[in-house]
Structure 1
Amino acid sequence: MAGNRLALITGASAGIGAEFARQYAAKGWDVALTARRLDRLDGLAREIEEKYKVSAMTISQDLARDGAADTILHELKEAGRHVDALVNNAGYGLPGTFFNTSWKEQADFIRVLYTVPIELTHKLLPGMAERDFGRIINVASLAGYAPGSSGHTLYASVKAGLIKFSESVHAEAETAGHDIHCTALCPGFTWTEFHDVNGTREMTNESPEWMWMEAAPVVKAGLEGVARGQPVVVPGMVNKGVATLTRILPEPVGRAIMKKQGKRFRKVD
């Protein structure tokens, strides 16, 4: 197992993050799993080691805390491991509007979903370049293509930022001639705990089933896309159609649609 490549996955305790861990392990990769819930991580690690016969390391860390990224990387260094693939998956929704949430809530949100993914990428890229191999997947969202909505104010802007960031890192690595691929994975509605945690499950359950995907095909699309060197991956035909529509619709029309439909899946109180 010591000779296996290692994938570091944030937000690995459930949902898309846990599925990334399983699919990387199925490919023979060792995995380093980080999230806040150590009990969930340890359970997943045991499952992975028993089923796939690879090494699974767990690191309990709250990415909203100062120094979280350095702590994770220090623990990996102490274990004598370097990162070959980074999956920036940790995230959540922050219900409410910009008016009725505190700055600390917003600042923590920006840190977990945007600052730390960029920090981890920046600190791991030199080693990837030195070894001439690296795979980075930033879990963005279809929301990054859509107009902003009332409620969950920074979600779309952060995800749009991750898309542009991933495109730029990928272009820089390609220009430098490195075997480093950076991909923004942009899922739409996915069956995970995400909507339970942010209190929108009842609202999103009103959406038709054909709009939803399971985590497994979402992750599979991300892994295949980063292997091919795609800077952006939108999984599923429905999501691809929505992403295309956001590009061709006149902006006032797009905003009007979001204003009308946003309240179906955005909690503003």
Structure 2
Amino acid sequence: MSNHPQRRPLALVTGASAGIGAAFARELASRGYDLVLTARRRERLEALAAELESAHGSHSTILVADLNQAGAPAQIAAELDERGLGIDLLVNNAGYGIPGHLRDQDWPVHRDFLQIMVSAPVELAWRLLPGMLERGHGRIINIASVAGLIPGTAGHTLYAASKSFLVKFSQSLALEYRGRGVNTCAVCAGFTLSEFHDVNGARPLMNRMPKWIWLQADRVARDALGAVERGRIVQISGLLYKTIYLMTKYLPDWLLLRMSARRSRHFRVQVAQPLAERQAD
């Protein structure tokens, strides 16, 4: 724990209104943390805050923010400073996916995506690191994905790329600051039950996938918190996804890319084309 005067450790969770973000908030509250919850939907954050206070006596500060706005990370940091809140643990969780090929979307759609998935996590870490270093203790968890560890696919063009960036960013950050009390961990989960697939239009396909491939969000959160405390830099949740990752280390690139191309064609037919047709209606 940090030596700052706050009564309880404090964690900031982005994208906290549902899914993995809400699971992190619940797990952290059960471990004695107070929370700063940020997302776009105030009513969901307020409901979660009430739940955490009732169940664990955890106090939550709600900061409504849309991280696709370039000024949002600075605004969050300024509000934290104004309230005298020092963050001990940052969970960069906010994110989503864009189905289809690169030219299927206008550039502002991709620009906003990169702001949320790449720029915002880096800027929040940059702004909160000084306080962690001053106190000699901090934790940063970046929610990446197994998609960032294996070959990319056609469709969802920027998703795997953004997650790969978070993995490399986390590795560098961990090596730079672990000697000063700040641990960083990239969490690489696979398919996890959440609203993610409703947002990107992939729910019909996801519902046809076998149940055994799915991870529970609360398990991902528990695994991640244990990993960052142990100083693990990359955490892969679930035996299935650890196996998939190991396979990519030993199979030749040409075979992996061929498998990826087949999976991409299947996704295009099952998800991206029907979604485009619905949007055109």
Q: TM-score, normalised by structure 2?
A: 0.92
Runs of 4+, deviation exceeding 3 Å = 263-269
Matches within 5 A, 1:29-68: 29-68=33-72
Structure 1 residue runs without a partner (length 5+): none
Aligned residue for 1:268, secondary structure, equals helix
Q: CA deviation at 1:206?
A: 2.3
Query: Structure 1: which amino acid aligns with 2:24?
Result: F
Q: CA deviation at 1:16?
A: 0.1
Query: Structure 2: which amino acid aligns with 1:223?
Result: L
| 1:143 corresponds to which of 147, 160, 170 | 147
| 1:180 corresponds to which of 182, 185, 191 | 182
Number of the residue aligned with 1:240:
242
Distance of 1:211 and 1:259 partners within structure 2:
21
Pair 1:144–1:112, CA change in 2 (3 A): same
Distance of 1:39 and 1:73 partners within structure 2:
22
Aligned residue for 2:180, secondary structure, equals coil
Aligned partners of 1:152 and 1:268 also within 8 Å: no
Aligned partners of 1:62 and 1:68 also within 8 Å: yes
Pair 1:50–1:2, CA change in 2 (3 A): farther
Query: Structure 2: which amino acid aligns with 1:21?
Result: A
Aligned residue for 2:142, secondary structure, equals strand
Greater alpha carbon shift after TM alignment, 75-84 vs 28-37: 75-84
Q: CA deviation at 1:250?
A: 0.7
Aligned residue for 2:190, secondary structure, equals coil
Deviations 1:54-105 (A, max 9, x none): 2111111000112100111111122211110000000001112101111100
Aligned residue for 2:232, secondary structure, equals coil
Pairing 1:254–2:256 present: yes
| 1:201 corresponds to which of 200, 203, 213 | 203
Query: Structure 1: which amino acid aligns with 2:38?
Result: T
Q: CA deviation at 1:2?
A: 4.5
Q: TM-score, normalised by structure 1?
A: 0.96
| 2:121 corresponds to which of 83, 100, 117 | 117
Q: CA deviation at 1:262?
A: 2.8
Q: CA deviation at 1:209?
A: 1.6
Pair 1:55–1:262, CA change in 2 (3 A): same
Distance of 2:122 and 2:169 partners within structure 1:
8
Aligned partners of 2:191 and 2:214 also within 8 Å: yes
Please report the RMSD computed on the Cα atoms of aligned residues, expressed in angstroms.
Answer: 1.3
Number of the residue aligned with 1:96:
100
Distance of 1:49 and 1:64 partners within structure 2:
29
Number of the residue aligned with 2:90:
86
Distance of 1:2 and 1:231 partners within structure 2:
27
Query: Structure 1: which amino acid aligns with 2:216?
Result: E
Structure 2 residue runs without a partner (length 5+): 274-281
Distance of 1:263 and 1:121 partners within structure 2:
37
Aligned partners of 2:34 and 2:60 also within 8 Å: yes
Aligned partners of 1:85 and 1:134 also within 8 Å: yes
Distance of 1:46 and 1:22 partners within structure 2:
11
Aligned residue for 2:256, secondary structure, equals helix
Distance of 1:245 and 1:180 partners within structure 2:
32
Structure with higher helix content:
2
